[in-house]
Amino acid sequence: MKKIGSFIAGILLSATVFAGTSEYVVQRGDTLSKIANKNKISVQKIMQFNNLKNMNFIREGQRLKLMPMYSQKNLNEQMVMAANWYQTSGEMQALSYQAFNMAKIIYYADLTSNKDNEQKRAVVVDIDETVLNNSPYDAGSIETNNSYPKEWNDWVKSEQAVPLPGAVEFLNFVVKNKGDVYYISNRSVKLLQPTINNLKKFGFPEADKEHVLLKGKTSNKEPRREQVAKNHRIVLLMGDNLNDFSYVFRGKTMSEKADLVDNLKSQFGNKFVLLPNPLYGDWEGDIYKGNWGMTPEQKNKARKEHLVKWE
């Protein structure tokens, strides 16, 4: 009798300790629906967090997780070093100058070697992590459960993104030297005005409705590039994502992209100029095989499975 009493007390104590927190101990008469109701969580989530295959199969005394073992907050922690590098390293700053210096060399070479071409020159640049630095937005998710696109629109509307080193100078050089600048970005068209304001604030040239081409119906940038190419000759393209250069990378897997980059190697530093971005990108989705709906736990696992380690 005494043994049973202490056993029940133990269950009650556990239920008290864990109730409303991250764990629940199943009591006699509990069903998953009852537990879900009691803890304001869905049955599906409890099943997911506990790898339960059958909702009717729970037993008294079983400990159920009410929160994922590995949360978005845990996953965000993995961004700390990338954000530190992006925001504080002289190497990042130097790489940005290097990209815009290279762009200037390419543009200048075209000015001198293609003197007789009558078509107006254009330089096409992406915006985010190519000419504007949004890393405070990404860093802002660290130690929170937030992930993109939460608060993204608010960040853009705050117009606080600063230029990447060398960007403003190079793009002004283009406009002063017989060229137009086109900003082709997958920011939503709804964010056009704050985007223009943000660019203007820091002295970017041609920051207007004609030259800032944001995402309408499709994230495919090719139709917007074609629009520019109708009455311009695109001398070079700049971006932090392979899709900023060509449609051929769209929807491709990690290994297909690797082959395409090899095939197009002569373009990099000649027509395509890449800016570094270790914070986010399509490369992350490639690790998840395009399944962005993975849980943070699954994403963590997929990330670690793709590491190359020595033996």
**Nearest-angstrom CA–CA distance, 63 and 18:** 9
First-to-final CA distance of the chain: 57
Of 30 and 128, the one with the shorter C-beta distance to Mg ion is: 128
Least Cβ distance, residue 296 to Mg ion (angstroms): 24
Of 126 and 180, the one with the shorter C-beta distance to Mg ion is: 126
Q: For the window 82-101, what string marks contact with Mg ion as x by the rule CB under 5 A?
A: --------------------
Of 36 and 125, the one with the shorter C-beta distance to Mg ion is: 125
Least Cβ distance, residue 132 to Mg ion (angstroms): 9
DSSP of the chain: -HHHHHHHHHHHHHHHHHTTTTEEE--TT--HHHHHHHTT--HHHHHHHTT-S-TT---TT-EEESS-SS-HHHHHHTTHHHHHHHHH-HHHHHHHHHHHHHHHHHHHHHHHH-TT--SPEEEEE-SBTTTEE-HHHHHTTTTSS--TTTTHHHHHHHT-PEEPTTHHHHHHHHHHTTEEEEEEEEEEGGGHHHHHHHHHHTT-TT-STTTEEEESS-S--HHHHHHHHTS-EEEEEEESSGGGT-GGGTT--HHHHHHHHHHTGGGBTTTEEEPP--S--HHHHHHTTT-TT--HHHHHHHHHHT-----
Whether the Cβ atoms of residue 237 and residue 99 lie closer than 8 Å to each other: no
Structure tokens at 161: 């993104």
The reply to whether 138 sits near Mg ion by the rule CB under 5 A is: no
Least Cβ distance, residue 265 to Mg ion (angstroms): 21
Span interacting with Mg ion, options 7-15, 67-75, 218-226, 233-241, rule CB under 5 A:
233-241
Span interacting with Mg ion, options 88-96, 119-127, 208-216, 256-264, rule CB under 5 A:
119-127
Span interacting with Mg ion, options 95-103, 112-120, 168-176, 235-243, rule CB under 5 A:
235-243
The reply to whether 126 sits near Mg ion by the rule CB under 5 A is: yes
Of 24 and 211, the one with the shorter C-beta distance to Mg ion is: 211
The reply to whether 129 sits near Mg ion by the rule CB under 5 A is: yes
How many residues form the binding site for Mg ion (CB under 5 A)? 4
Least Cβ distance, residue 241 to Mg ion (angstroms): 5
Q: Chain centroid to CA 24: how far? A: 35
Least Cβ distance, residue 96 to Mg ion (angstroms): 13
By beta-carbon distance, which residue lies closest to Mg ion? 128
Least Cβ distance, residue 36 to Mg ion (angstroms): 41
Q: For the window 237-276, what string marks contact with Mg ion as x by the rule CB under 5 A?
A: ---x------------------------------------
Among 30, 128, 180, 206, binds Mg ion (CB under 5 A): 128
Alpha carbon distances (Å) from 191 to 123, 202, 244: 22, 17, 19
Least Cβ distance, residue 24 to Mg ion (angstroms): 43
Structure tokens at 61: 């005394």
Of 239 and 296, the one with the shorter C-beta distance to Mg ion is: 239
Least Cβ distance, residue 128 to Mg ion (angstroms): 4
Span interacting with Mg ion, options 55-63, 79-87, 124-132, 284-292, rule CB under 5 A:
124-132
Applying CB under 5 A, the residues found at the interface with Mg ion are 126, 128-129, 240
